[in-house]
Structure formats: C-alpha cells, structure tokens
Amino acid sequence: MPKTGNIVTYTVLRETMTRFEAHAPMILAIIQLENQVKVLSQIVDCSEDAIKIGSRVKAVFRKVASNGDSDTIQYGYKFAIDTQ
C-alpha cells in the first residue's frame, strides 16, 4: 500500500460512534493513493481548517483502540497532512 495520497473529499463528524466520543470532532476522508486506489481514513494531527480537497497526506501509525480488560492495544494506519 502506498503511504501517500491526496484528499478526494472529506467530512467532519461532530456526533461520533459509540466508544469514539473522545475523538470528536472526527475528520474522515476519502484518499486517493499514488496507485489510484481510494481508501477511507481518519485524518489526524491537524485542525479542520487545515483540511482541503487535494491536500497531500501521508500514512501514520496510530493507536486505534485499547481493551482495558485484556490489556490489548490495537494499532493501525491513519493519515496526516504531508508538510514536506
């Protein structure tokens, strides 16, 4: 999977799903990767004002969830604005 792409479209979720309340507002975007595949991902590490259609983004590895009962931590890719 390519690690960079461009934002095709995005939305800001102010009412999030159960267990994601701490992430509100959550920015979700459809990203077209360098190989032309489109993926849906959360945009992190920036304000809503920084998001623009066409913005270049890069994949970042982040904590997705944790289960306190089993001490399991789940990680996955999200995307952030590429400032380089």
- In 1-84, alpha helices (H): none
Q: Distance (Å, rounded) from C-alpha 19 to C-alpha 81?
A: 25
7 φ/ψ angles, rounded to the nearest 5 degrees? -75, 125
Give the tens place of pLDDT for each residue, 44-70.
Answer: 999 889 999 999 999 999 877 777 677
Specify the pTM. Answer: 0.83
Task: With beta carbons less than 8 A apart as the criterion, state whether 57 and 82 touch.
Answer: yes
**The predicted structure's pLDDT at residue 5:** 97
The tokens for 83 are 């400032």
List the end-to-end C-alpha distance of the chain, in Å, as a whole number. 20
Task: Parse the chain into domains and list their residue ranges.
Answer: 4-81
Joined tokens for residue 9: 């479209």
Give pLDDT, residue 11: 95
pLDDT in tens, 1-23: 899 999 999 999 888 778 777 77
CATH of domain 4-81: 2.40.50
Q: What is the per-residue pLDDT for 63? A: 79
Tell me what pLDDT residue 75 has.
84
